[in-house]
Amino acid sequence: MIKAILIFNNHGKPRLSKFYQPYSEDTQQQIIRETFHLVSKRDENVCNFLEGGLLIGGSDNKLIYRHYATLYFVFCVDSSESELGILDLIQVFVETLDKCFENVCELDLIFHVDKVHNILAEMVMGGMVLETNMNEIVTQIDAQNKLEKSEPPVMEVHLQKSTLLERKRFLHL
């Protein structure tokens, strides 16, 4: 079972946090901090597996992580998951993000965190792997986005955006 999925940047700022077991808000933040602390200490050429921190269950659980440029993707799992399998899962997740966002970078994750949640929900549900076929996932996401767009829009006053952000391509796969 997957206990938690965390994405944070090189400075520990959370970009996505999803917990599949009930933890209080304080504990959640502590877990994010503890995980960042453990993961950021790792060198570049060591293995991608770590013992879980105390808050998330200690030695019964593992942190399986991948570092892409400025982002850490960390899956916290218990002993029933295949470690190498989860590594592949992280890769599939990132590739799916890439397909949905067209050359995804950290800014995409920052500004569209709700969309990232939706994509993740198509892959992992209730702590279990739901779907690993990238095409299926992308098809579903597209259908849902279409459904949203087809609904009558909300009346609103647009704020003038003062600057157009330059999007840097950070993520290399």
Binding site for another protein (CB under 8 A): 14, 16-18, 20, 22, 24-25, 29, 43, 45-51, 82-85, 87-89, 91-92, 110-111, 113-114, 117-118, 121, 125-133, 135-136, 140, 143-144, 147-148, 151, 154-157, 159, 161, 165
Q: How far is the CB of 28 from another protein (least distance, A)?
A: 8
Phi and psi at residue 145, to the nearest 5°: -65, -40
Instruction: Name the residue among 86, 85, 108 with its Cα closest to residue 97.
Output: 108
Q: From residue 107, give the alpha-carbon distance in Å to each of 15, 66, 70, 122, 170.
A: 10, 18, 11, 22, 9
Judged by beta carbon, residue 95 or residue 103, the one nearer another protein is 95
> How is residue 142 written in tokens?
């597209």
Q: How far is the CB of 104 from another protein (least distance, A)?
A: 16
DSSP code of residue 56: G
Judged by beta carbon, residue 128 or residue 173, the one nearer another protein is 128
